Structures are given as C-alpha cells and as structure tokens.
Amino acid sequence: MANLAAVVGIGQTKYTTKRDDVSIAGLVREAAVNALQDAGLTWDDIEAVIIGKAPDMFEGVIMPEIYLTDALGCNGKPMLRVHTAGSVGGSTALVAASHVQSGSFKRVLTVAFEKQSESNAMWALSNPHPFSTHLNAGAGGYFAPIIREYMRRSEAPHDVGIKVAVKDRLHGARNPLAHLQKPDITMQEVEESFMLWDPIRFLESCPSSDGACAMVIANEELAEQAPKPPAWIRGVAMRSEPTMYAGREEVSPQAGRDCAADVYQQAGITDPRRDLDCAEVYVPFSWYEPMWLENLGFAPEGEGWKLTMEGATSLDEGGDIPWNPSGGVLSSNPIGASGMIRFAEAARQVRGDAGAHQVEGAKLALGHAYGGGAQFFSMWVVGAEKP
Amino acid sequence: MSQPEVLQQSFELGFTYTRSVGPVVGRFLTELRNRNIVGIKASDGRVVVPPMEYDPDTAEELSEFVEVGQEGEIVSFAWVKEPREAHPMDRPFAWAMIRLDGADVPMIHCVAANAESDVATGARVKAVWADETIGFITDIRCFELA
Amino acid sequence: MSEEQDVITGIEAPVYLKYNFTAGAAAARFLHQIKKGVLTGQRCPSCQQVYIPPRGSCAACGCPTEEEVEVADKATIQSFTIVTIPIPNNPIQPPYIIANLVADGANISFLHLISECVNEDVHIGQRVQALWKPEEEWDYAMDNIRYFRPIDEPDVPVEMIGKLPVTGWEGSADD
Amino acid sequence: MTDIAIVAYQQTDAVSDAGAVNEVELIIPVLGRVFEQAGLTNSQDVDFVCSGSCDYLQGAAFAFVLGVDALGAVPPIKESHVEMDAAWALYESILKIRMGHAESALVYGFGKSSPGELPIVLSQQLDPYYLAPQWIDAISLAALQARQMLDQGLVSERDMAEVVARSRNNALNNPHAQLAGEVSVDDVLAEDTYVSPLRKADCCPVSDGASAMIIATVEKAEEWGKPYAVISGIDHRIETHNLGMRDLTDSLSTRQAAEGAGMGQGRVDVAELYAPFSHQEIILTRALGLGEETSINPSGGVLAGNMMMASGLSRVGEVFDRIVSGEAERGIAHATSGPCLQHNLVTVLEKA
C-alpha cells in the first residue's frame, strides 16, 4: 500500500511566447521558488528534485539536469530527469510522488519546463532524417487525420472544435498566468482563423510558450503541518502503447482508457462525470476535448461532443464538469511543462486556490497528460480530503 | 533472407538557438563585449568567473559582481594534439582551467601555445580578445602565455 | 564604458552536430527493394500482420519480424490532412495533402502525399495508386514514389481498410 | 523498506559500431534473453517497465518511443523513461515497487553512440552560455581532472596505466567486452599521449549496446523460483555544475550516495565502478574507501566497453552475476552521469 502524499506547494511562471528576461535556469528557478514560497519552505527543506521536459532538442541542452543542478539547489541531493514525450509533465509529477509514496522521501520538489522560444518545435519535431520521406508536418500534421476520423465516426457538428477553442480561451482569460488572453474571442473569430492542418484551424491549436511549473510533494505528516491546504494524491496511473501497430485504435487509445480505469479505481470513482468536480485534461487541439471526454469515460463513445455543446465543460455556462478551468493547453503550452500544469491546476482546484478560475467547492479533480502519438498517458486524481 | 549491404548517410542535426540570458549571464557578456571580465561573489566570499546565477551551497541568487583581471594562472590543462572540427583552433592547443587575478574559482577556456612543453600548471596567461567583440564567450578568442 | 551600450539580453547559439546514420536491418532491406521499385513489408510471425515500412519488429507483439512480403502500390486512404503550412527544410509547397495510406497487402498505414486530385474531394476510403519517379531517379528512398493519386475504383468501407489482400480491391457486392 | 530482488540480467556485446541495427533491433534480442532468464515471455509479465536513453547520441528526438516497439506493449503497459543512464531507470522502478504499485519491473537502457562524435555531442551537456559554445569535449574535461590528480601527486601515470592493464586483462573473461587483452602496464605507458595527460587507453571506447534487467519483490522472486540477488540499498547524488567549484580529485557525491545506500554496513567483495577514464576509477575507489578485500571491475569496467545509457545498469548487472554465481556475497555498483563524475549513483547488492 502506497504511503500517503500530498501537494503542499505550487509555483508557476507567467506563460508567454518568449521569456526574454531569464536564462533557462532562471525560468525553471522562478517556478521552483514560487512553489517553495507557496509551501512556506526553503531549499533546505527539499530532499530531492525530479525534473521533466520534452526532447532536449527544444533547447539544445543535453540532459539539462546537469546544468540546472545549482539553480534548483540540488548540490548534494538526488536529481532525476524524466522524459516521456508530451506526457512528461504528468509523468514527472508521478515519479516525484513515487519518491514520497514509496516512503523513501519526506518532501521533494518537482519541476517541468520548456523554453520553446530558444528554438522551433516544428523544427525539432520534424527534423529530417536520412532515408525517411520527411513528411512530418509537426504535431498538428500527425493529429489532424485522427481528428478527421473522429469527426467521421461521431458525426459531430463541425463547430464542436470551435466551441472548445472559445471555451478554453474564456477560461484562460480568468487565469492571469495563461499565455493567450482573449476575453473577447468569438466562434466566428475561431471559424475564420487560418486552416493550418485541415480540419485544425489556427485558433483550434495550442500556442507555443515559454514556462515552467513546480510542485512540492510531501508525506502525510508534513502535509498535515503545511500552512495551506494540501491536495491529497488519491490515485496515480501511467500507461503506454506502441505508436503504430495493426488495428490500433488511434481515436480512443486503449492506453488512455486503461489508465483512466486504473486511476478511477484507486480514487474510488465509478462515474467520473458525477464523482469528479473538474478536470484538467491535455487538449492541445480543440477536438481532443470531445475525444478525451469519451476516452476518459465522461461520455459514451460518440457522444463526447454533446457534453461540450451542452456547456457541461464550461465554467462560464455553469457546466457540471468544467474541463480546463485554467484555460488548458489551448491557452498555454510550454510542452514539457504542460502535463505538470494540468496536474498542478487540478491540485489548485481542490486546495481552493485557483482564483478567478476556481470551480466552486471543488473537492476531487483529475489531472491528465498524454504524449507521443497519443500513446503515453499519465493521470492523477487529487482531493481536498485525505483518503 | 540475405543481409543487404549497409546503407549509410550523413546528416547534420543543427539549429541556431536564440537564447535569452538573464541578468547575470547578460552582465558578463555585456562586459565581455567591452573587453572587461567580471565575476560574482559566492556566499562563501569566493569570486566565481564566469559568474554563476545561483550559489552551489546555499542555492541563493548571486548578484555582487566583481571585476577581475585579464591575466591569470593555469590551474590545470589538457593538451589537444589533434583538434576536432568543432574546436576553436585548428592547430594543437590546450584547454585550461584558469584562475584569473582577483578570482578564486577557475574558468575553462582555450590556450594558444606552440607546444605542450610551453604550457604548465602555474603558468601565467592573458586573455586575447577577438577582433570584434559581440557579447559571446568567444569574445575571449583564447588565452596565451603572458 | 558599458553603461552607454545596451545590456546584452540574448545570444545566438549555433548547435550543429554531424551524424552518420546507418539504416537498421529491416529498413535497409526495405530500401534496397524500393530502389528496384518494389514495396516490401514484413509479416509478424505471431499475429500475421504486415508492417510497412518494416521496423524489424511487430510493435504489438514485441517480437522480431523476418518474413518479407511484397505489397501493392495501390492503397486506401485511412485518413488525411490538408496542410497549409510549410514543412521546415522541405521544398513541398502548401497546400498539400498528407494521408495515412494502407497499401493492399499491408495492415498498417504509412504517410505519403496525395496529388492530382481536387483537395476538397479527397475522402477516407478512397483508392489511390503510386506515381513513381522515372526509374533512373530511383534511390534508397520512399521518395521514389512522387505521390499517390486517385484511381477509378470503388471506395473501401472503413471496416475493410487495412484488411485488403495484395491482389487489391474488387469492390463489395453492394457497390 | 521493501528489499528488491534482481532476477535476471542480460546485455549485448559492447561494439564500436553496431552497424545496421536500429534501436528496436538492438533491444529485442536482449529483452528476449532477459525474459527467458526470468522464465517470462514479454513485458506483459511484469508490472512496470522503465528505460534510459539519450536522443542526442544518435541525433533523433524521441529515440525511446521506438523502444516501446520492442516491448509487446499491447495491451498497454505501465511504462516510463528517464533521459539518463538506465541505472536511474532502475532507481525509478524500485520506487514504484516500494510504493506498492508493482511487484516486478523490466529495466533497460540502450545507446547507439557510433553515429555521432560522442565527446563533442557530450559537450552540449555543459552550461549553454559559457561552456557548450566552446565545444569542450568530454575527454578534454577528464584530462583537466587527471592533470590535477597528477600535479597534486595523488596518482602517477603508472597508477593510471595499472588500471588500464587490469581492465584489459579482466575483460578477457568478459564475453561482451569491446577491448580485452593481455596488456602490461609498460605496454600502456609506451603509448603516446592522446589528450595529454591522457592516453587513448585511459579513455573508455565509444560503444553501441543495450542491457536489460528484471527486478521484483523478494516474494515474487521466490515465486518465480529463479536465483536472485537482493538490492539492499540505492542512492544517488549530484554536485554543482561548475567544475571550477568542485574538488575534481575527489567524488563527494559518490561518497554521499554510498552512505545513503548503506555501503558501509558490510564487507564489499566486488565493486563495479562506472569510470570512463582510468584516473576516475582511482578517485572512486578512494571516495568509497575500497580496500584489498574488494575486487574492482572484474568485468573490465567501462574501459573495456562503454554502452552509454546502459553502462550504469550494466555495472549492477555485473555485480548481480557474481553474486548469483557465488563468486561474491556482497558488492556495490556505481553509475555516473555528467562531466568529471558530476552525478553518481551507488547500489548495494547482497546474496539472497
């Protein structure tokens, strides 16, 4: 049986296109210091640091924990670097939690970051390789055909993605840290935005952001002494499957369904829409909201889009299950940190500390991340109450 | 099933990264452009060159800059007989840890010399500036024996 | 002195590394065959599925694949996207269609371009065939196929995509 | 704390150029053998999988994603990855077992370093403003460290040559070694310097290869009925990235890790140390306080073949092999990362 663990401090940076005032270390450091402050702790209180980010090619610094040791106060401590593609922010939080849940550590710091302005994610993700056709047009090029197949199967109206794009930006406008601030966004504006990878429009895609997110995770005893309410970790799960194999279900991957079932079972959730108060789910392209609503069991297969269209996932429409109240990946996307932001924002909700995007009375929340060809999944459920 | 001949192709993985440097690294590079070298004072009072942003022992932000000399002493060196393509020199040279005058912590840079026997631990070296300084570590083109 | 000039806030850092890539065994066999104008996949000894391009293993079963299987240069569109932004370092000009194509005789899709079509008419289940470059330009590359173009065959029902024999698609009875 | 059993270990030969083998083709045979050794079929038979690799070794982002193709991950598995040596993947897997979310795990590491110029590739691990733009290769940094040792009289060139000669001779008994032979100290000393003061023989070769291990709770290992060794402790520590602020002639973080892992609580019969340069073996031996009773690097160590991202795990595997064969009762394995031994991990293994 895992030891209890809880999030006792959360720190983020303001997400933006280019943080031109800090070094890579400075960016990572800022989130970490904010998390320590939130937890009322100093560097000496931290026993180990777990860091995550997406491919090293994004910043061109190989195994950056080596250079970031001092910025994160790690001299003489254990430091671990996780990399599980786009899900890495979530996986990193889970590996950090396992440091405490295993009983090996009392309190650890975890940080995930991306300083995407140092390079060009499109370049890093579609770097030509010998003997290959080099038709890889970035993440959007990869996911667009899968979205098209979802649209065909579900017979969803064409404007579901547009609605998600608007909803998440309106959420983001409540979150001062969100990269995109578009309080006046309209369906028409999204619909008229440039079609990048048909059927994905510009405003249905995530931005490219600089940013870092950090959390302090502590054991039961220290969490109970924490100055601010802890977010108790009620379930943790990861699943992976290969990128391509014959007969793979790409629209609703088995790995996502299995991962959700695992984390719900641990948290005692039988009906996620009813039992959870909100969810922070990795939605980098708007259509992934209805797709994940189904994959995560919030709606029957083929009907996820109905929840979206009913406003069930919208704070502004008073929905019963707000998704991405922080604005989500569609409002801020420092790739390596995006998963951890989902996990941290879920924790903020149950700590009652989410400011203008607080879901009133939130007690139980889901944090979700995915990566690779929608093949790596990591999830946690956090609660206001101790399990 | 036969093993086909091996297929090989060279490729370059390359990008020119646009790095923002923050105030500490920025100050050092700005001074380099002006042909000055500055260090920073660590929590234990040691002067570190190039300046670190965060103290290794206390993890605190560092901010007290100290101008140091452009000459110093070799603390250790490695003699490179066959420079690699990426290296800053195309003839034999040394990488060295150099403790600049006024600094406590050595920095690593290259030293131009005619022969390995000319270089020694404890030898005095001085900075040689690039013809044009732009605010980059290679504004110090190399060190040479003083 | 320094006060009179702008403080440096950013630098350009060129990071260029040279590699000598060697194709894996499965890829090398595939590339030797495509240089002759033949598309070759590998069949999993366990689940019998045919992978192309082959990677030397069945990703589902995790076992090595060795049996080589020739597949057709006719294929079915499993899905696609119309891309309107350029690919870095690639001469193809947008808008262009990139499709997930399953060749007849294969069970898994690969990416390739669709051309000689009306972009708006391209659809899932559509039949296409490779347009090869002139033989004298063939190299160890999938680019030997310039693109795929629609052919006059009935659409393949979605549930049949990825299950056609190498002999192709006759069209179902109710077409 | 739950004791962890190592049940199986396998590796490829360390080779200078694996040639026409992609990541999956490199891994699959090793995984096949390690599952066979444990009496298992594939990753469906373990509860967790964790791997270590580095994209930049061969210059392709997401190298580890292809690794998943070797696992038989259908239906989906619990799987994670560290962009580090697989010794740290072992560490992560142990936490997973200790938290009760797994009873067994597959750990593997792989690297194809031959496609790039490894010492130059590794220069991009350094500070991206001051050091990486100078392209200071990893061998030159080690040479700076060796010179400090020599200047301070802490080692002689003969001491270093003795490490090399012992490595080459020990490697004669290691079928996976890349460099092995009856080499004398004088043979080594007769060699010219390479990056002075280092000779080429003082430096590990560049190797391609992979290794894999299966661990489990002791209860599970008993159930499987295979011989096993017990991991009684594991810890790792990192040091400042500023080489000028470290005492390069010592390895403080190795000592801290050894203390954390409980190395001092018994005799050390065998030690496998990840020392890519001969003088670093001496630094590590001293930092750990190893004496005459300890057989150091009986496999030849990484001077006989350094499979980047797998070598740290291999050190653990080598000690495991010696314990289950009865050659040793208790041993330690060391792994390192970063320039001049910046980050160090120590595992203590004991007879079951």
Spatial neighbors of A180 by CB under 8 A, at least 6 apart, are A169, A172, A207, A327, A330, A331, A332
Strand A376-383 and strand B37-41: the pairing is unpaired
Say if B11 falls within a structural domain: no
pLDDT of amino acid B125 = 98
pLDDT of amino acid C5 = 67
Q: Between chains, do B48 and D119 touch, taking CB under 8 Å as contact? A: no
Q: Between chains, do D83 and A82 touch, taking CB under 8 Å as contact? A: yes
The CA distance from C61 to C63, in Å, is 5
What per-residue string of b and e applies to D24-58 under the rule 16 or more CB within 10 Å gives b? bbbbbbbbbbbbebbebebbeebbbbbbbbbbbbb
Compute CA distances C144 → B94, C41, C127, C168, D199, whole Å.
Answer: 49, 16, 20, 21, 48
Q: Are C3 and A13 in contact (CB under 8 A)?
A: no
Q: Is D108 on the interface with A (CB under 8 A)?
A: no
Q: Between chains, do A197 and C108 touch, taking CB under 8 Å as contact? A: no
Poorest-confidence range of A121-125, A371-375, B66-70, D30-34? A121-125
Query: Which residue carries 């060159």 as its tokens?
Result: B49
Phi and psi, residue C58, nearest 5°: -95, 115
Chain D neighbours (≥3 Cβ pairs under 8 A) are A, B, C
Domain total in chain B = 1
Q: Which residue of B has its CA nearest to A76?
A: B57
The CA distance from D13 to D19, in Å, is 13
Rounded CA Rg of chain C: 21
Among the partner-chain residues B11, B17, B116, the one whose CB lies closest to the CB of D196 is B116
Burial of C165 (0-12, 13-18, 19+ CB in 10 A): exposed
pLDDT of amino acid A247 = 87
Q: How far is A30 from chain D (nearest CA, A)?
A: 18
pLDDT band at A306 (very low <50, low <70, confident <90, very high): very high
pLDDT tens digits, A121-177? 666 666 667 777 667 667 888 899 999 999 999 999 999 999 999 999 999 999 999
Q: Which residue of A has its CA nearest to B10?
A: A130
pLDDT tens digits, A237-253? 999 999 999 889 999 99
Phi and psi, residue B55, nearest 5°: -75, 130
pLDDT of amino acid D102 = 97
pLDDT tens digits, B51-107? 999 999 999 999 999 999 999 999 999 999 999 999 999 999 999 999 999 999 999
The CA distance from A148 to A151, in Å, is 5
The CA distance from C28 to C30, in Å, is 5
Q: How far is B2 from chain C (nearest CA, A)?
A: 9
- The size of the B-D interface in CB pairs under 8 A is 106
Query: Which residue carries 């569109």 as its tokens?
Result: C77
Instruction: Give residue limits of the domains in chain C.
Output: 25-160
DSSP state of B50: S
Percent of chain D exceeding pLDDT 70 equals 100
DSSP state of D132: G
pLDDT tens digits, C65-99? 999 999 999 999 999 999 988 877 777 888 999 99
DSSP state of D77: B
Say if B14 falls within a structural domain: no
Q: Between chains, do A133 and C82 touch, taking CB under 8 Å as contact? A: no
Q: Are D303 and D197 in contact (CB under 8 A)?
A: no
The CA distance from B124 to A2, in Å, is 59
Interaxial angle between packed helices D311-324 and D86-98, expressed in degrees from 0 to 180 and rounded to the nearest 10: 60
pLDDT tens digits, A182-239? 999 999 999 999 999 999 999 999 999 999 999 999 999 999 999 999 999 999 999 9
Say if B135 falls within a structural domain: yes
What per-residue string of b and e applies to D69-86 under the rule 16 or more CB within 10 Å gives b? bbbbbbebbbbbbbbbbb
pLDDT tens digits, A260-278? 999 999 999 999 999 999 9
pLDDT band at C161 (very low <50, low <70, confident <90, very high): very high
Residue B4 clears pLDDT 90, i.e. is over it: no
Closest CA to D6 of D314, D276, D266: D314
- Helical segments of B65-136, H only: none
Residues of D in contact with A101 (CB under 8 A): 95, 99, 101
- D105: part of which helix (H) or strand (E)? strand D104-112
Q: Between chains, do B6 and D137 touch, taking CB under 8 Å as contact? A: no
Q: How far is A310 from chain C (nearest CA, A)?
A: 28
pLDDT of amino acid D23 = 84
Burial of A306 (0-12, 13-18, 19+ CB in 10 A): middle
Query: pTM to 2 decimals?
Result: 0.97
Chain B neighbours (≥3 Cβ pairs under 8 A) are A, C, D
Extended strands (E) in chain A: 5-12, 48-52, 79-82, 107-115, 195-198, 200-201, 210-219, 231-240, 278-280, 364-371, 376-383
CB count in 10 Å sphere of residue B72: 27
Spatial neighbors of C118 by CB under 8 A, at least 6 apart, are none
pLDDT band at A1 (very low <50, low <70, confident <90, very high): low
The CA distance from C8 to B135, in Å, is 7
Chain C neighbours (≥3 Cβ pairs under 8 A) are A, B, D
Residues of A in contact with C6 (CB under 8 A): none
The CA distance from D181 to D300, in Å, is 10
The strand pairing partners of A210, in sequence order, are A16, A115
CB count in 10 Å sphere of residue A170: 20
Residue A108 clears pLDDT 50, i.e. is over it: yes
Q: Residue B97 is part of which domain span?
A: 22-145
DSSP for A197-229 reads EETEEGGGB----EEEEEEEEEEHHHHHH-SS-
pLDDT of amino acid C170 = 81
Residue C173 clears pLDDT 50, i.e. is over it: no
Rounded CA Rg of chain A: 19
Angle, vertex CA C122, rays to CA C117 and CA C127, nearest 5: 85
Query: Which residue carries 């890093």 as its tokens?
Result: A124
Question: What ipTM, to 2 d.p.?
Answer: 0.96
Q: Are D94 and D215 in contact (CB under 8 A)?
A: yes
The CA distance from A193 to A187, in Å, is 10
Q: Between chains, do D31 and C25 touch, taking CB under 8 Å as contact? A: no
Residues 107-166 of C with CB under 8 A from A: 107-109, 111-113, 124, 140-143, 158, 162
- Helical segments of D49-137, H only: 55-58, 63-67, 86-98, 118-121
Residues of B in contact with D144 (CB under 8 A): 76-78, 95-97, 108
Among the partner-chain residues D117, D195, D244, the one whose CB lies closest to the CB of B78 is D195
DSSP state of A133: -
Quick check: helix, strand or coil at residue A9? Answer: strand
Say if B4 falls within a structural domain: no
Residues of D in contact with A243 (CB under 8 A): 65, 68-69
Q: Which residue of D has its CA nearest to C25?
A: D20
- A90: part of which helix (H) or strand (E)? helix A88-101
Q: How far is D186 from chain A (nearest CA, A)?
A: 37
Q: Between chains, do C16 and B5 touch, taking CB under 8 Å as contact? A: no
Quick check: helix, strand or coil at residue B72? Answer: strand
Residues of A in contact with B55 (CB under 8 A): 70
Q: Which residue of B has its CA nearest to A129?
A: B11
Tokens of D78: 């619990």
pLDDT of amino acid B94 = 98
Q: Between chains, do C62 and D69 touch, taking CB under 8 Å as contact? A: yes
Closest CA to C108 of C68, C54, C167, C31: C54
Please name each of the domains of chain D with its CATH number. 4-117+206-229 (3.40.47.10)
What is the torsion angle, in degrees rounded to the nearest 10, for the CA atoms of residue C13, residue D23, residue A80 and residue A38?
A: 70
pLDDT of amino acid D63 = 81
The strand pairing partners of D82, in sequence order, are A82, D52
DSSP for chain C reads -GGGSPPP-EEEEEEEEEEEEE--HHHHHHHHHHTTT-EEEEE-TTT--EESS--SEETTTTEE--EEEEE-SEEEEEEEEEE-SPPTT--PPSSEEEEEEEETT-SS-EEEEE-SS-GGG--TT-EEEEEEPPGGG--SSGGGEEEEEE-SSPPPPGGGTT---TT-----TT-
Residues of B in contact with C21 (CB under 8 A): 8-11
The CA distance from B9 to C35, in Å, is 15
Q: Between chains, do C111 and A20 touch, taking CB under 8 Å as contact? A: no
- Which one of A75, A111, A125 would you mutate to disrupt binding with B, by most B Cβ within 10 Å of its Cβ? A75
Q: Are D78 and D84 in contact (CB under 8 A)?
A: no
pLDDT tens digits, D129-149? 999 999 999 999 999 999 999
Among the partner-chain residues A57, A67, A237, the one whose CB lies closest to the CB of D61 is A57
Q: How far is D349 from chain A (nearest CA, A)?
A: 18
Poorest-confidence range of A111-125, A155-169, A299-313? A111-125
Residues of C in contact with A19 (CB under 8 A): none
Residue D120 clears pLDDT 60, i.e. is over it: yes
- Which one of C1, C2, C139 would you mutate to disrupt binding with B, by most B Cβ within 10 Å of its Cβ? C2
CB count in 10 Å sphere of residue D326: 9
